[in-house]
Amino acid sequence: MSAYIASLWNDKGGVGKTTVAVNMATVAAATGLKVALVDADPQRSARDWQTLAGEEGFGFPVIGLDTLQQLKGLKEISQPYDLVIVDGAPRAPECAATVLKQSDLFLIPVQPSALDLLATQHLASTVVERLELIEGTDTKLEARFLITMAGKNTVLGREISNAAQELGVPVMKSRTHRYEEVKKLVGRGETVVDLGDDHPSKQEIAGIINEAFAILNGEKEQKSA
């Protein structure tokens, strides 16, 4: 069986794509899965993070795919792995479409505001068009918004669910919250795994992975999330 490809994409920078991608890959690898991280961002943030992690890096490959041509080979490159996480590039609609076509799960990280969801309108409509196109075929694709960097007391109100509904992309139940310790990880070349199992950020990344697999395995109750 070939890898599941789970991509984190948003045309906007600073929404947490790289943070979620690196941490998801690391936590998944720690559970024994054969993981690779694809850095599709020419700014190379995931690759730089790995360099800071020292000689052994994260312990799994970080593969830079910087051009549209390289990204067309995503599926082929993914074959030897169980799970490939793609860290997306901002402002690269053609790359987004190519990665979307090859992804099993397409996650759009957004900060918890209806405006931020609505700002993804172009990307969301590309996703919805793709879903309509493959409906009734063997091609599988699931797409979700992933709320990132929520505040401690953030309540996800009706505005957010209305925005998601309007855009036609459901919201994952799992989300990330803002932690100072998480912000400091990059500079140390560390990940949430280094924060330990008791840290809530480690737990929420593990929760995202579990929910991702539940969605990929077609557990229907997740669909209304």
Ligand X SMILES: Nc1ncnc2c1ncn2[C@@H]1O[C@H](COP(=O)(O)OP(=O)(O)O)[C@@H](O)[C@H]1O
Answer yes or no whether residue 44 interacts with ligand X by CB under 6 A. Answer: no
Residue 14 interacts with which of ligand X, Mg ion, none, CB < 5 to 8 Å by class: ligand X
Q: How far is the CB of 133 from ligand X (least distance, A)?
A: 27
Nearer to ligand X, 179 or 213 (CB): 179
Q: How far is the CB of 1 from ligand X (least distance, A)?
A: 29
Answer yes or no whether residue 14 interacts with ligand X by CB under 6 A. Answer: yes
**Residue, CB closest to Mg ion:** 18
Answer yes or no whether residue 120 interacts with ligand X by CB under 6 A. Answer: no
Q: How far is the CB of 107 from Mg ion (least distance, A)?
A: 13
Nearer to ligand X, 130 or 202 (CB): 202
Q: Determine the interface stretch with ligand X among 95-103, 122-130, 153-161, 182-190 (rule: CB under 6 A).
A: 182-190
Instruction: Count Cβ neighbours within 10 Å for each residue of 52-79 and write b for 16 or more, e otherwise.
Output: ebeeebbebbbbebbeeebbeebbebbe
HEC letters along the chain:
CCCEEEEECCCCCCCCHHHHHHHHHHHHHHCCCCEEEEECCCCCHHHHHHHHCCCCCCCCCEEECCCHHHHCCHHHHHCCCCEEEEECCCCCHHHHHHHHHHCCEEEEEECCCHHHHHCCHHHHHHHHHHHHHHCCCCCCCEEEEEECCECCCCCCCHHHHHHHHHHCCCECCCCCECCHHHHHHHHHCCCHHHHCCCCHHHHHHHHHHHHHHHHHCCCHHHHHC
Out of 17, 130, 144, 202, name the contact with ligand X by CB under 6 A.
17
Answer yes or no whether residue 174 interacts with ligand X by CB under 6 A. Answer: no
Answer yes or no whether residue 170 interacts with ligand X by CB under 6 A. Answer: no
Nearer to ligand X, 9 or 32 (CB): 9
Binding site for Mg ion (CB under 5 A): 17-18, 45
Answer yes or no whether residue 178 interacts with ligand X by CB under 6 A. Answer: yes
Q: How far is the CB of 41 from Mg ion (least distance, A)?
A: 5
Residues in the site for ligand X, rule: CB under 6 A?
A: 13-19, 45, 148-149, 176, 178-179, 182-183, 186
